[in-house]
Amino acid sequence: MNPSPEKTEDLSLTGNNAEGGSLTVEQALANLEGADLGLRFYAAWWLGRFRISEAAAVTALIKALEDEADKTPEGGYPLRRNAARALGKLGDRQAVSPLIGCLDCSDFYVREAAAQSLEMLGDPVCIPALIKLLAVGLQGEQLISKQPDLSQPYEAILEALGSLRATEYIPLIKPFLEHPIELVQYAAARAMYQLTQEPVYGERLVQALAGEKLQLRRAVLADLGAIGYLPAADAIAQTLAENSLKLISLKGLLEHQVNHTTPSTFSEDTIKVMNLMDSLL
């Protein structure tokens, strides 16, 4: 049985507000350069959470991508991870090339954060570097034989390639539909849908909504919302998951509709999505 979803969702919110209020931009920037590693780590997260996009913050976070002081026994770089995550949220393209550099970092989670942030920044210049990382899992146009291959953050890479419209690399993305890890399959289906608009890939995600594991259904709800796959509306409303997540997913569908149609009147589909959302409140 899963823990109460109500509590998880609400704690994350109050936690942010309660602690976040206590820092100022000046303090956060000072902490980021200070001696206390815990405060540095928190400051990097804070700057991203509150979207502090001023030049000094961006510069300091880019510098933090090369931090050597904060290191886990396993060789991970906690501060780099948080700095990479924050830079995705700040929307400053100066971060693109330093983040591309992070794709070579020895820490898996730094590479994952960099791929996610490069997706958010939306600059296709990073596509070749992402493909280089994706190709680690391939022999030609097939998955490498040693599976499951967990050596690269394939999920984040595939999602980024889909959002960045890397259509010329479809043959390298498609094999990941067969990856043994379900989350990677879904990321590949999501990217394939974005790159081809073929319903077969959207339907693959819809089918996954009927799967056994709540954790996977939640991930698929996010995927369907991100690609705005309208025919999924009913399946989203009916899957066994928290209403909060269904509402976010349906909002993705709704916004996709509005962004891609001329909005003087609502289409039947748009109205249907809103009626489903109303029923889940």
Partner 1 sequence: MNNSDLAQILIRAVEEADSSERLLDAVQELAAAGIEEAIPTLIAALGYNNPGAAVAAVDGLIAIGEASVQPLLELIDNYNYGARAWAVRALAGIGDVRALDTLLEAAKSDFSLSVRRAAARGLGTLRWYQVPPEKLESIQTQVLEALLLISQDPEWVVRYAAVTSLETLAMSGDNPQSGNAISVTLPEQASRITNQLQQMLDTDVDLGVRTRVKFAQQKIQPQQHQQTFAPKRKVVDPELPYRGGSRR
- Residues in the site for partner 1, rule: CB under 8 A? 1-7, 9-10, 13-14, 240, 242-244, 247-248, 251, 254-255, 258-259, 263, 265-266, 270-271, 274, 277-278, 281
Between 56 and 240, CB nearer to partner 1:
240
Rounded Cα distance between 256 and 141, Å, is: 32
Q: What would the two tokens of residue 194 be?
A: 């974005």
Q: What would the two tokens of residue 175 be?
A: 């094999």
Q: Could you say which DSSP state residue 241 is in? A: S
In the bound complex, what is the minimum distance in angstroms from residue 10's beta carbon to partner 1? 4
Q: What would the two tokens of residue 7 be?
A: 């509590």
In the bound complex, what is the minimum distance in angstroms from residue 269's beta carbon to partner 1? 13
In the bound complex, what is the minimum distance in angstroms from residue 240's beta carbon to partner 1? 6
Rounded Cα distance between 137 and 134, Å, is: 6
Between 3 and 73, CB nearer to partner 1:
3
Between 69 and 240, CB nearer to partner 1:
240
Between 195 and 250, CB nearer to partner 1:
250
CA atoms within 13 A on the CB side of 162: 27
27, burial (CB in 10 Å: exposed 0-12, middle 13-18, buried 19+): middle
Non-local CB neighbours of 136 within 8 Å, separated by 6+ positions: 151, 152
244, burial (CB in 10 Å: exposed 0-12, middle 13-18, buried 19+): middle
Report whether 209 contacts 220 (CB < 8 A): yes
In the bound complex, what is the minimum distance in angstroms from residue 237's beta carbon to partner 1? 12
Report whether 90 contacts 60 (CB < 8 A): no
Between 13 and 150, CB nearer to partner 1:
13
In the bound complex, what is the minimum distance in angstroms from residue 280's beta carbon to partner 1? 9
Between 168 and 234, CB nearer to partner 1:
234
In the bound complex, what is the minimum distance in angstroms from residue 24's beta carbon to partner 1? 20
